[in-house]
């Protein structure tokens, strides 16, 4: 599955001429051909190209200003090969930005910063959001040699959005926010103070090369221009991915070969899972291309069995996810949750949760993963409470539709496959059309 290509800011006259010819239904029309040639000739005029781009940018401008400069018409911006990865995560970017009332244009920042490269690791900045280590830690991410959540796209997106929100409170100007994010607030402040008398605009930073990363200015504007105006961007197929539950360890090579997923696609979708063996994790989601979900459902148990057999023959211990501690639990924030409600559920204080997750405020987001510190006695109490809650949740009778799988039903109601099997006394994942399943919707 490939969906990679380069895209450039090209002569806007070309598309105008082609449109004119198409409206003629390809009929031989001397006047129409003459006009098309005139448009193409006019398009070769740099002044006309600049005016056209300037006009389009003014129409695209929303919360973040898009000031035109002739630098945009010089060497074309090459864009990124990771367009398909952007499309995978675009809905997550937009939802996270909406939650914090941030401009949706900021979803293009990962492309402008790192070209959506999951393996980006330069000058202590990592992941597609180019997060510095100290910023990541401040906003609750784990940064360690063998476990770096800056490569977890969902977790990094939440941290980046929180950082952008705080930067806007500090500066009140979106270009100052972008430059501070791409460099550092200290670097931006120093450059601004040094040239206070010049009343700098955003392109002054670019022309005078006042910061280490001024390329983000051109990249960001060109990215918005390309994605909004190029036919390739408008018609590109947006491959979708789907969340699955890995219940037991699986050999990565076996997983790739059986589901016919290329290693680079699997790595781009799941940058946190880096070993030869994919280990189940309560804290990190695992994604595969949507068209592979039925194949995974059919082969899931076989993948687990073959992996277990392989490890047994190699006399290797079956790995398990490293726990945060015997007295800790991971909780995913749901709609309607608050820090105090979660604390009450687990029998701990809100301050304990805030301290363990490095939270500065009581604000939490839907989908955010929290580490809950528990004592042994509280841990057993929570297990009983959780079991009781499943009985008090909304009971639903789901009738299986043709071609439907347990995995799809689990995702529909946001529950685990193992729970559906337990509620319905299922010994395997086999279900049939019109079969009735009990589901407790949380």
- The CATH class given to the 323-391 domain equals alpha beta
pLDDT over threshold 80, residue 219: yes
Rounded Cα gap, residues 222 and 228, in angstroms: 10
Rounded Cα gap, residues 400 and 436, in angstroms: 6
Per-residue pLDDT tens digits for 144-188: 876 788 988 888 999 999 999 999 999 999 999 999 999 999 999
Q: Which residues contact 140 (CB under 8 A, 6 or more apart)?
A: 159, 357, 358, 359
- The CATH class given to the 83-235 domain equals mainly alpha
Per-residue pLDDT tens digits for 63-82: 999 999 888 887 655 555 66
Rounded Cα gap, residues 223 and 90, in angstroms: 14
State the pTM of this model.
0.52
Residue 319: predicted pLDDT: 53
Residue 77: predicted pLDDT: 57
* H helical segments located in 24-152: 30-43, 46-60, 83-99, 109-114, 133-138
In CATH, which of 3.20.20.220, 3.10.510.20, 1.20.58.220, 3.10.350.10 is domain 393-442? 3.10.350.10
Task: Give the three-class secondary structure for 364.
Answer: coil
What Cα–Cα distance (Å) separates residue 278 from each residue in 55, 92, 143, 254, 408? 50, 23, 20, 10, 21
Pick from 347, 419, 412: which is nearest to 390 by CA? 419
In the structure encoding, which two tokens stand for residue 48, read together?
A: 């006309």
Rounded Cα gap, residues 413 and 426, in angstroms: 18
Element (H, E) at 105: none
In the structure encoding, which two tokens stand for residue 117, read together?
A: 């490269």
Burial class of 113 by CB neighbour count within 10 A (0 to 12, 13 to 18, 19+): buried
pLDDT over threshold 80, residue 384: no
Residues composing the chain: 442
Pick from 358, 100, 318, 69: which is nearest to 214 by CA? 69
Per-residue pLDDT tens digits for 12-53: 554 555 544 454 544 445 555 555 555 445 444 555 567 778
Rounded Cα gap, residues 148 and 171, in angstroms: 29
In the structure encoding, which two tokens stand for residue 273, read together?
A: 């899972």
């Amino acid at each position: 599955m490939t969906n990679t290509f380069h895209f450039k800011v090209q002569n806007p006259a070309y598309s105008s001429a082609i449109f004119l010819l198409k409206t003629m239904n390809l009929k031989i029309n001397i006047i129409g051909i003459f006009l098309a040639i005139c448009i193409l000739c006019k398009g070769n005029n740099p002044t006309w190209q600049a005016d056209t781009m300037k006009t389009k940018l003014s129409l695209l401008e929303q919360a973040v200003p898009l000031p035109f400069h002739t630098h945009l018409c010089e060497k074309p911006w090459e864009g990124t090969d990771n367009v398909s990865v952007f499309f995978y995560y675009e809905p997550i970017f937009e939802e996270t930005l909406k939650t914090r009332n941030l401009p949706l244009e900021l979803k293009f920042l990962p492309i402008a910063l790192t070209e959506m490269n999951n393996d980006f690791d330069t000058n202590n900045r990592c992941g597609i959001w180019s997060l510095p280590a100290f910023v990541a830690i401040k906003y609750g991410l784990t940064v360690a040699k063998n476990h770096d959540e800056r490569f977890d796209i969902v977790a990094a997106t939440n941290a980046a959005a929180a950082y952008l929100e705080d930067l806007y409170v500090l500066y009140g100007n979106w270009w100052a926010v972008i430059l501070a994010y791409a460099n550092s607030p200290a670097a931006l402040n120093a450059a601004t103070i040094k040239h206070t008398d010049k009343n700098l605009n955003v392109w002054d930073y670019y022309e005078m090369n006042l910061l280490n990363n001024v390329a983000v200015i051109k990249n960001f504007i060109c990215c918005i221009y390309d994605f909004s105006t190029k036919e390739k961007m408008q018609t590109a197929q947006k491959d979708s991915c789907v969340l699955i539950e890995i219940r037991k360890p699986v050999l990565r090579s076996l997983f790739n070969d059986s589901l016919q997923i290329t290693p680079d696609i699997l790595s781009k979708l799941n940058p946190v899972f880096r070993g030869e063996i994919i280990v189940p994790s309560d804290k990190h989601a695992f994604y595969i291309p949507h068209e592979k979900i039925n194949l995974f459902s059919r082969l899931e148990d076989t993948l687990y069995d073959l992996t277990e057999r392989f490890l047994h023959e190699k006399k290797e211990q079956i790995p398990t996810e490293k726990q945060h501690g015997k007295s800790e639990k991971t909780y995913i924030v749901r709609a309607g949750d608050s820090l105090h409600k979660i604390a009450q559920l687990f029998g701990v204080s809100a301050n304990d949760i805030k301290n363990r997750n490095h939270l500065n405020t009581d604000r939490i987001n839907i989908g955010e993963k929290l580490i809950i510190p528990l004592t042994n006695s509280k841990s057993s109490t929570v297990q009983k409470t959780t079991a009781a809650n499943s009985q008090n949740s909304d009971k639903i009778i789901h009738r299986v539709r043709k071609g439907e799988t347990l995995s799809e039903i689990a995702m529909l109601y946001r529950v685990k496959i193992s729970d559906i099997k337990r509620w319905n006394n299922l010994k395997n994942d086999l279900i049939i059309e019109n079969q009735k399943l009990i589901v407790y919707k949380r």
